[in-house]
Structure 1
Amino acid sequence: TLTLVVNEFIRGVPELSEKSSEGVRQIQNWLKTGPLHLSDTQLDRYIDEAQAWINNNTSRFTSGALSTAATLAEVLTGTLLVLFATFFFLRDGNRIWRFLVRLLPVAARWKVDDAGRASWQTLVAYVRATVLVAFIDAVGIGIFLVAFDIPFAFPLAALVFLGAFIPIVGAALSGGVAVLVALVDSGPVTALIILGAVIGVQQIEGHVLQPLIMGRAVALHPLAVIIGIAAGVVLAGITGALVSVPLIAVLNTAVRRLAARRVPDTPPDAVVVASQAP
């Protein structure tokens, strides 16, 4: 998906640059003739201040780019390690889990096994529901982009799909990008229509899709979601924002299962194996 998005953007960069220049000129004319009535001197001053800010922060941007380039080898190594580990987790995941449970005291094994398996089911349900909700968001917004002949309709829809993996915040931000492209390409009226479509899709997602598809298994309070995303961004950037909500959902299920005072009807497989071990 990322490859398709990048290729589409690369092919459309010349057109987007031309449209962006035209959009900037329209904004300048509106600032002059609109309710603000800014003079050429004021506009020039604001532009000069923006240019000075960019120049003053060029070193910061450059150092960030160099740091990113320097860690490329580490990223590739980490990717290979993830693929290698994922293969064995998929093949031997149940055996690895039983081994870990056998390391615990006998009295705690069944409870930990129950909490772990329930947490895994919560994660599975979360990922499946998120993919479905993200797909519906992307299709809904993408239909409006195609209907109004907005450039980069497919990449923008793909961006909405990827952004929807960050609950509440991600799809709104990626939808904002679509609105900006519509503003540059087709003017404020079309941009307002796209904005209305983005808001409408978000309302349907928040009030219909999320409660209906996510279900009670991964239901989290909106405050917990927002705090989790904020903490994830502060601690680990975009990766933290992606991981924070499923992590909270998994921990929520695990804590609830561990705190529950009940005895399983049938001992889990891990306990049976553990009891037969010498």
Structure 2
Amino acid sequence: MTVDERARVPRTLRVTAALGWRALVVVAALYVVGQVLATLASVVVPVAIALLLAALLTPAVHWLVRHRVPRWVATAVVMTGGLAVLGGVLSFVVIAFVDGVPDLAAQLTAGVDALAAWLTNGPLHVSEQQLSSAQQDLLALIGDNQGALTTGALTTAAALGETLAEILLVVFTLIFFLQGGSAIWQFLLLAVPSDVRARTDVAGRRGLAALVSYVRATAVVAVVDAVAIGIGLGVLGVPLAVPLSALVFLGAFVPIIGALVGGAAAVLVALVAQGPVSALIVLAIIVGVMQLEGHVLQPLLLGRAVRLHPLAVVLAVATGLLVAGIAGALFAVPLLAVLNSGIRSLRSPTDEHLDPDEVRGSEPEESAPPEPGHDRYGDPDASAIEAHVVPT
């Protein structure tokens, strides 16, 4: 296109076209990356879970290392303690759930009978014949879909083996993250051009510090939510208070959606077991705990390490849920926190000349010192190259 022809095209159109094809390239690249991640989901999801657990457990490992405990011993102690606590909690929850199911089933039966009596004698005046017909239709529906239910059970049994393999991958990856996370990060930095490697190192450490702060604060908030709601359910005598508290604890790691699911389950059980008054009280308790979490706990615990607007959190969770289901909702906010902190660090002039070891939130690691004539990343030092090339 000549200069005269270019002048005939309006500048707005030229700028819009340039932005448009660049946006298409970015969208296409993101689509390809998403397809690759979806294909490797059985590997990507366990590694991401291991990274979240490493962010939660790494401070404990660093504390032991600072007290002169060998790093492999500290890793073994933290891993063993973490697995023991997790196994104990899960066992306690399962046992409490199994013990509470008969009581809940009896109360559910009584609730259904009361509902049927209300439908028959209440303002709707539903006849017993209509209720019997609805029951028969429900049984027929279950019978017609028995094959699908059986197939689903077989699929669940097959998925159980995959889940076990993914759990083992999480444990295996977590061991290496705790043992040599710094070495892994330094290896990944070798793919970055040397002139911006230190800058990228600082931004990465900022992102890691934000991830540690997010996971730690989320764990504390989850414990507070579970304990407060569990005490309220226990005082009201709602069945399955312990399993419901555990559900609230797990749901707290998925912002917005997890709280809604856990709270809805607690309200539903209270409604079935004890009626609408108890359900309204449970709802009030859950709303109060959520207000405490949103206005006190999260601002106090997260502080400036993870500054995310509530709208950004909601949109991130919704996008993650739409793109990758529950896993996407779980990892959306941590990923957003890491990107937000890393990008802010890259744009900050105060971080430009900052030494990576001076970044707040990074902990000292046991690592071998660089070889003579090489920098921290294993590349030849500039002064060594100059001394070798320039004759004296």
Taking structure 1 as the reference length, the TM-score comes to: 0.87
Matched residue SS, 1:71: helix
With over 3 angstroms needed to count, the CA separation of the structure-2 counterparts of 1:275 and 1:89, relative to structure 1, is closer
The residue identity in structure 2 corresponding to 1:245 is V
Aligned length: 278
Q: Does 1:273 align with 2:376?
A: yes
The residue identity in structure 1 corresponding to 2:214 is Y
The residue identity in structure 1 corresponding to 2:161 is A
Tell me if the contact between 2:345 and 2:351 (Cα under 8 Å) persists in the aligned partners.
no
Cα deviations by residue, 1:54-73 (Å, 9 ceiling, x for unpaired): 55555544433322211322
Tell me if the contact between 1:232 and 1:240 (Cα under 8 Å) persists in the aligned partners.
yes
What's the CA shift for 1:132?
Answer: 0.9
- In structure 1, C-alpha distance between the alignment counterparts of 2:235 and 2:217, rounded to whole Å: 27
The residue identity in structure 1 corresponding to 2:264 is G
Which of 282, 289, 293 pairs up with 1:205? Answer: 293
Cα deviations by residue, 1:179-228 (Å, 9 ceiling, x for unpaired): 22222222221121112111221222222222222223223222322232
Structure 1, unmatched stretches of 5+, are none
Tell me if the contact between 2:223 and 2:249 (Cα under 8 Å) persists in the aligned partners.
yes
Query: Whose RCO is larger (CA < 8 A, sep 6+)?
Result: 1
Tell me if the contact between 2:202 and 2:355 (Cα under 8 Å) persists in the aligned partners.
no
Matched residue SS, 1:218: coil
Matched residue SS, 2:212: helix
Q: Does 1:248 align with 2:336?
A: yes
With over 3 angstroms needed to count, the CA separation of the structure-2 counterparts of 1:277 and 1:82, relative to structure 1, is farther
With over 3 angstroms needed to count, the CA separation of the structure-2 counterparts of 1:143 and 1:97, relative to structure 1, is same
Tell me if the contact between 2:230 and 2:245 (Cα under 8 Å) persists in the aligned partners.
yes
Tell me if the contact between 2:232 and 2:285 (Cα under 8 Å) persists in the aligned partners.
yes
2:311 aligns to what? 223
Taking structure 2 as the reference length, the TM-score comes to: 0.64
Tell me if the contact between 1:228 and 1:244 (Cα under 8 Å) persists in the aligned partners.
yes
- Cα-Cα RMSD: 2.6
Which of 193, 206, 210 pairs up with 1:105? Answer: 193
2:363 aligns to what? none
With over 3 angstroms needed to count, the CA separation of the structure-2 counterparts of 1:107 and 1:137, relative to structure 1, is same
1:21 aligns to what? 109
The residue identity in structure 2 corresponding to 1:148 is L
Cα deviations by residue, 1:18-72 (Å, 9 ceiling, x for unpaired): 1110011122233344554544455455555555555555554443332221132
The residue identity in structure 2 corresponding to 1:203 is Q
Cα deviations by residue, 1:87-109 (Å, 9 ceiling, x for unpaired): 11111111111122133111220
Tell me if the contact between 1:179 and 1:192 (Cα under 8 Å) persists in the aligned partners.
yes
2:264 aligns to what? 176
Which moved further from structure 2: 131-140 or 69-78? 69-78
Q: Where does 1:1-278 land on structure 2 (aligned, <5 Å)?
A: 1-34=89-122, 36-44=124-132, 46-47=134-135, 50-51=138-139, 54-55=142-143, 58-262=146-350, 264-268=352-356, 272-274=375-377, 277=380
What's the CA shift for 1:240?
Answer: 2.3
